[in-house]
Amino acid sequence: MKRKLTSHNFILGAVITAIMLSLILLGFVWTPYDPEAMQGSLKLHGPSLTHPFGTDQFGRDILSRVLSGAGSTLLIALGTILLGGIIGILAGALTGYFGGWLDEGLMRVNDALAAFPSVLLALVMIALLGPGTYKVMLALGIAFIPSFARIVRGEFLRLREMDYVTSAKLIGVSTPRILFVHILPNILPALLSALAIGFNNAVLAEASMSYLGIGVQPPDASLGRMLSESQTYLAGGPWCAVFPGLFLVLLILGVGLLGEGILDQFGGGR
Residue 26 domain-assigned? no
Report yes or no: 201 and 208 within 8 Å, Cβ to Cβ: no
Q: Which domain holds residue 73?
A: 69-226
Q: Is residue 74 part of a domain?
A: yes
Could you tell me which of 221, 188, 258, 255 has the C-alpha nearest to residue 61? 221
**Residue 149 forms part of a structural domain:** yes
Across the chain, mean pLDDT equals: 90
Mean pLDDT lowest among 26-30, 33-37, 212-216, 234-238: 212-216
Q: Is residue 234 part of a domain?
A: no
Per residue in 235-259, pLDDT (tens digit) is 999 999 999 999 999 999 999 999 9
Residue 229 has pLDDT above 60, yes or no: yes
User: For residue range 161-173, what is the model confidence (pLDDT) as tens digits?
Assistant: 899 999 999 999 9
Q: What pLDDT sits at residue 105?
A: 86
| Structural domain includes residue 25 | no
Buried b (16+ CB within 10 A) or exposed e, 12-51: bbbebbeebeebbeebeeebebebeeeeeebbebeeeeeb
Q: Which pLDDT score, from 0 to 100, does residue 47 have?
A: 97
Residue 220 in this model has a pLDDT that exceeds 90: no
Here the CATH number for the domain that contains residue 177 is: 1.10.3720.10
Lowest mean pLDDT among 2-16, 194-208, 210-224: 2-16
Answer whether residue 176 is part of any domain. Answer: yes
Q: Is residue 204 part of a domain?
A: yes
Write the DSSP symbol of residue 181: I
Bridge partner list, 61: 55
In the structure, what pLDDT confidence band is assigned to residue 4 with cuts at 50, 70 and 90?
Answer: low
Q: Convert the pLDDT of each residue in 32-89 to its tens digit.
A: 999 999 998 999 999 999 999 999 999 999 999 999 999 999 999 999 999 999 999 9
Pair 133, 76: CB distance under 8 Å: yes
pLDDT at 268 over 80: no
If one counts the domains in the chain, the total is 1
Q: How far is CA 60 from CA 41, 45, 47, 63, in A?
A: 10, 10, 12, 9
Peptide bond between residue 218 and the one before it cis (omega within 30 degrees of 0): no
103-114: average pLDDT: 83
For residue 159, being part of any structural domain is answered with yes
